[in-house]
Structures are given as C-alpha cells and as structure tokens.
C-alpha cells in the first residue's frame, strides 16, 4: 500500500499482515490500520472510557485522568516514538486507543473483584476483555460481531495472557506458548502506556494532595528534573513547576526509548516482522532508565496506589462489583434481556451466564455501576 512506503522493513505493514478474520475489501482512502483506529474510536467501549477510573474514581474530580484521556496520552507518546523509529504509527495508535477497552469500572480494584467473582468460571482479565470487546462484544456491523480488526492490532491489544487462555486463543495465543514477540509496534504501545501512567499519576497524585512534592524528592528522575526546572526558572512554584518537571521526565523517557531501541534494531537489523517475532524484545529502555522508571513506579505503588484514601475507594469498589455480580448470578432475571443466557439446557450454563454478567459489569462506567448498585440494593431507588 502506497500510504505505507515510508516504513522501515521491520515495521508492520498491511500488505504483510495476517489480515482480518472476515475478509473485507481494502479501504480506499486510508491504511488498514487507520481503519482499525477509526473503528475503535467509533466503538461503544471507547466512549465508555471517558467515565472509567484510571486511579481516581471519575466523580472525585474533573481534572483527573480517566481511561479515555490516559489512552489518548498513550497514543500521543506512542506515535511520536513510532515516527522516530519508522514504525507503523497507525498501528501503534490503534493499539494504544484500544488497550484499555476491557477495563472494569473502578480501575484495578474492579478488575480484581470481578476476577475473584469469576474464579469458578474461568476468571476475568481486563487485557483479555479488551480483546473480547473488539472481537465479540461490539455490535456495529451487519456482517460480523466485534470490529473485525487486523491480526496485528488484536495481537497488540493482548499484552499478556496466561498459558491456559493462550491455548484457547488459537493463532493469537501462539506467541505466548512459543515465547515469541509481537510486532515492534505492540512492544512500543506497551512502554508508551508505562511512560504515560507513571507521569500522569504523579500529576494526579499531587493534584489530589495524596502525595507531596517533598515526598517525590526520593524519586531520582523527579528530583533531577525538578532541580533543572529551578535552574531555568528560579523560584518557580505550584502547578507550573510540576508541569515543567513532568514534561522533562516524559521527554527523557521518550528519548531514551528511541535511542536504546533504535540502536538495538540497528544491531539486529531485522529484515521483516517475522524476524522481529523470533528475536528478543527490541523496544526497551536503557538499563539506567529502566532502573529509574522502576523506582518511580515503586514510589507510586507505595505512596499513591496504596494510600489509605485510595484504599477506601478500592474497598467500596470491590464491594459494589462483588454485590452486583452475586445479585445477578443468583437472579439472572434482574439482568437486562441482552445479558440473560438462554434457558438452561445442560452443563456449562452457569459459566456462560457468569461470563455474560462479567461482560455486563466490565462494560459499566464508574457512575453506571454505582447507580446500578443503588437500583438493586436501595429500596427507595428504582
């Protein structure tokens, strides 16, 4: 496809793709991966991201990241790195915008709670659920369920996967069983995700008052750049100082990733995507930067994600999800008709009903889940 002529030989190309499950005529005015990105943006699951928690529950404040703004930041960071490495920007963007589609309401608390509820029925994993959303749950097209995305987009969405699940996924699960890598675009989207959340969670954490700039002095990456900012803008304070620091941190992470990955790619000189797949990961940070990024991650884990006020919200979220699940499992008649399994006719029906409930709950936004919980449990709320 002429629109992809600028790509490096190791980049993913529509022409060399494993294609779509249901064959479709090639698009006329865009690449296949642009078409994937467009389908993702038009999906219902994508619009729901606006009201799903990243770290802070949506109603806690209007300026915190949501899954939607997070996904946009991942796409932005991913695209600029992709362009530098002559990778397929459209594919990176599609993966970035879709990577969190399967997230439950209330962030990781919701995922853990739903996974606990689903233990007897095959478990619940948000990453696999993102794939399920684009493969099956979206109902937009006459000819198929799901969005019928390109193999490489679906592969990129499936960042990790248990071996048991991989065995059930056929071609898509193969790489987990064989220890092979996905495209460089998928590897890149994964690290762009990490760059995005590490930095925006600092911003949100400070904004919420749950962490302080004084605490952040123990994080080398932050402290170093905060000092640089002070040199350029002596006496700078407040949000401007935070933004000036964070933009430098993002920049240095992005540049390190471009530099380290670019050198690795040049060394190994993969001639095509097949060689990328059979090689060790090539999109990575330098050892020093990996060390600093891990330090930052640990700081956020200890001081923000486990903050007692976050724990309180997490605990409420867990109860809401668990109670919704149990109520629906005990009385499927409470579910909207689309989510009721056809009447039982043999073994496995409870598992199928449980999966439908998990799909329903996973699709909920934070506020929808809270409302639904009130509708089921508050006697004066209908």
CB of 111 to Mg ion, least distance (A): 12
Contact status, residue 58 vs residue 52, Cβ threshold 8 Å: yes
**Rounded distance between C-alpha atoms, residue 210 and residue 299, angstroms:** 12
Contact 39, 149 (CB under 8 A): yes
Evaluate whether 328 touches 360 at the Cβ level (below 8 Å).
yes
List residues near Mg ion by CB under 5 A: 100, 193
CB of 78 to Mg ion, least distance (A): 11
What tokens does 334 get?
Answer: 């409470």
Q: Which residues in 148-176 are b (16+ Cβ under 10 Å) and which e?
A: bbbbbbbbbbbbebeeebbeebeebbebb
Nearest approach in angstroms of CB 193 to Mg ion is 4
CB-wise, 1 or 72, nearer to Mg ion? 72
Beta carbon nearer to Mg ion, 135 or 193? 193
Q: Which is nearer to Mg ion, 52 or 318 (CB)?
A: 52
In angstroms, give the least distance from the CB of 160 to Mg ion.
Answer: 12
Between 100 and 135, name the residue whose CB sits nearer to Mg ion. 100
From the number of C-beta atoms within 10 Å of its C-beta (0-12, 13-18, 19+), residue 1 rates as: middle
Tokens representing residue 184 in the block: 């460089």
At its nearest, how many Å lie between Mg ion and the CB of residue 127? Answer: 10
Taking the complex as a whole, the smallest distance from the CB of residue 71 to Mg ion amounts, in Å, to 7
Distance between CA atoms of residues 203 and 64, nearest Å? 9
Single out the residue of 331, 328, 337 nearest to residue 357, CA to CA: 328
Q: 77 or 276: whose CB is closer to Mg ion? A: 77
Return the number of the residue (193 or 201) whose C-beta is nearest Mg ion: 193
Least spacing, CB of residue 194 vs Mg ion, in Å: 8
State in angstroms the smallest separation of the CB of 337 from Mg ion: 32
Distance from C-alpha of 166 to C-alpha of 88, rounded to nearest angstrom: 26
Least distance between Mg ion and beta carbon 203 (Å) = 15
Q: Looking at beta carbons only, is 205 or 270 nearer to Mg ion?
A: 205
Q: Which residue is at the shortest CB distance from Mg ion?
A: 193
Q: Among residues 91 and 354, whose Cβ is nearest to Mg ion?
A: 91
Tokens of 127: 């990453």
Task: Kindly tell me which of 74 and 276 has the beta carbon lying closer to Mg ion.
Answer: 74
The token duo for 88 is 């397929």
């Amino acid at each position: 496809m002429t629109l992809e002529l600028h790509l490096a030989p190791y980049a993913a190309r529509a022409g060399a793709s494993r294609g779509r499950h249901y064959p479709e005529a090639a698009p006329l005015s865009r690449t296949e991966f642009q078409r994937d990105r467009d389908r993702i943006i038009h999906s219902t699951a994508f619009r729901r991201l606006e009201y799903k928690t990243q770290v802070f529950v949506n109603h806690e404040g209007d300026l915190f990241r949501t899954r939607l703004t997070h996904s946009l930041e991942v796409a932005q960071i991913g695209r600029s790195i992709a362009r530098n490495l002559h990778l397929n920007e459209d594919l990176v963007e599609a993966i970035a915008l879709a990577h969190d589609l399967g997230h439950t309401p209330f962030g990781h608390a919701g995922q853990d709670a739903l996974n606990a509820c689903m233990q007897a029925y095959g478990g619940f994993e948000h990453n696999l659920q993102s794939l399920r959303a684009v493969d099956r749950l979206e109902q937009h097209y006459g000819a198929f369920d799901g969005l019928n995305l390109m193999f490489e987009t679906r592969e990129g969405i499936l960042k990790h996967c248990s071996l048991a699940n991989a065995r059930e996924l056929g071609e898509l699960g193969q790489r987990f069983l064989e220890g092979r890598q996905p495209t460089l675009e998928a590897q890149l989207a994964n690290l762009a995700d990490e760059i995005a959340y590490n930095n925006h969670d600092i911003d949100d954490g400070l904004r919420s008052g749950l962490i302080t700039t004084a605490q952040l002095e123990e994080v080398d990456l932050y402290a170093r750049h905060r000092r640089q900012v002070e040199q350029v803008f002596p006496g700078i304070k407040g949000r401007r100082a935070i933004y000036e620091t964070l933009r430098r941190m993002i920049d240095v992470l992005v540049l390190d990733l471009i530099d380290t990955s670019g050198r690795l790619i040049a060394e190994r000189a993969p001639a095509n995507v097949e060689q990328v797949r059979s090689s060790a990961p090539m999109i990575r940070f330098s050892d020093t930067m990996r060390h600093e990024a891990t330090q930052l991650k640990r700081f956020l884990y200890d001081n923000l994600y486990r903050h007692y006020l976050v724990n309180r919200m997490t605990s409420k979220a867990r109860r809401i999800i668990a109670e919704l699940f149990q109520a629906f499992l005990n009385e499927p008649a409470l579910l909207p008709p689309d989510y009721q399994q056809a009447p039982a006719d043999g073994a496995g029906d409870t598992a199928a009903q449980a999966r439908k409930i998990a799909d329903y709950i996973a699709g909920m936004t934070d506020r929808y889940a809270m409302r639904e919980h009130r509708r089921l449990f508050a006697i004066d709320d209908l």
